[in-house]
Amino acid sequence: MDSPEHYVRRVTWIGLIANILLSGIKFMAGILGDSQALMADAVHSLSDTITDVAVILGSFFWSEPPDQCHPHGHQRIETMVTIVIGTVLLLAGVGVGWHAVTTLHQEDAGTSPGPIALVVAAISLVTKEILFRWTDRAGKRVKSSALQANAWHHRLDAISSIPVFLAVAGAMLFPNLTFLDHVGALIVSIFIIQASFKILVPGFGELLEAGASPGTLEEINTLVQRHPGVIEIHQLRTRYLGSTLRIDFHLVVDGELTIKQGHDIAEQIKTDLISRLPDLADAIIHIEPGNLLDPDRTTAN
């Protein structure tokens, strides 16, 4: 069976080949069919190839084991690849939108799009939706944020083909309304920009050491405190490395327990947490003895 990294590369290579073929077909159909919206969609598909290459190259690095200079591993590279994907999407969306707006009122913007543009838009919609479903399922299977981000790139290409299809069809039915093709390109750009923010915000959150959600924190607290021998949990800290969660916290136990007994409790809790939290890769637990004396008496002495 393939390792997660090999599986990511295999899935992405297939997507890369499909994107290159679709980009070429859309460009040709956009030129032959005189459709600016389809040309904009071709740019979007071409941007997919850039992110495919980023995922393939990045997977060779983020899968490297920890070393002396990188004791926590190299998973942040996956986060950086995810941000690259979001940035490429953002730039592509802004570029497509700007071109659509600046040419919207041109009287010589072009003639009514031809039937070939309509057919290719339909083919793109179906093909990219299939690629999205397959890539997203693969990303969830191996817990790869970069692969899942790339899957949404496919989904956006599928979604953006819908207004392209409608715009081309509208311009064909009403030849005098050639601006519909430009409006379709503008709608595509809005979808692209929206998707870029959905990818960039979590990515930057990981780089800035954003912790787990309140729901996950509550779940961790509940799982820990249900173990016998646990008095209190405090100073819980969480962070993500790539798609995996790392946590550390202080665990207060009976101060009369032996070191081995305290260690055994910590190991049981760690095993339980990792088995119940699918994203959790490691947990560091600091054992603290509970107060054996009344705090007021200790201060008085």
Domains of the chain (ranges, CATH numbers) = 4-207 (1.20.1510.10), 214-300 (3.30.70.1350)
Q: What is the mean pLDDT of the chain?
A: 78
pLDDT score of 56: 82
Q: What order do you get walking across the sheet with 230-241 strand by strand? A: 230-241, 244-253, 280-289
250 CB contacts (<8 Å, ≥6 apart)? 233, 234, 235, 285, 286, 288
Mean of the pLDDT values across residues 176-185? Answer: 68
Give the residue-averaged pLDDT of 273-277: 87
Cα–chain center distance at 149: 3
pTM (2 d.p.): 0.59
Give residues with Cβ within 8 angstroms of 157, minimum separation 6: 22, 41, 44, 45, 48, 124, 128
C-alpha 218/C-alpha 227 separation (Å) is 15
Can you tell me the mean pLDDT for 88-109? 72
Contact 46, 170 (CB under 8 A): no
The encoded tokens of residue 290 equal: 């509970």
pLDDT at 37 (0 to 100): 67
Give the model's pLDDT for residue 43. 73
Angle among Cα 275, 241, 214 to the nearest 5 degrees reads 65
For residues 52 and 105, give the distance between their C-alpha atoms in angstroms, rounded to a whole number: 35
Give me the pLDDT at residue 11, please.
87
pLDDT over 70 percentage in the chain: 82
Residue 297's pLDDT band (cuts 50, 70, 90): very low
Percent of the chain with pLDDT over 90: 2
Range of lowest pLDDT (21-25, 267-271, 285-289, 294-298): 294-298
What is the mean pLDDT of the segment spanning 254-275?
A: 88
pLDDT band at 249 (very low <50, low <70, confident <90, very high): very high
- 181-190 per-position pLDDT tens digit: 667 777 777 8
Average pLDDT over residues 14-37: 81
In the chain, where does DSSP find H-type helix?
A: 4-32, 36-62, 76-102, 115-142, 145-173, 179-207, 214-225, 259-276, 295-300
User: 119 to each of 96, 123, 187, how far by Cα in Å?
Assistant: 21, 6, 19
- For residue 275, with 0-12 CB atoms within 10 Å meaning exposed, 13-18 middle and 19 or more buried, which class applies? exposed
pLDDT reading at 285 higher than 60: yes
Contact, 158 vs 123, CB < 8 A? no
Region 189-204: mean pLDDT is 81
Residue 264 clears pLDDT 80, i.e. is over it: yes
Confidence of residue 301 (pLDDT cuts 50, 70, 90): very low
Structure confidence at residue 250 as a pLDDT band (50, 70, 90):
very high
Distance CA 11, CA 53 (A): 12
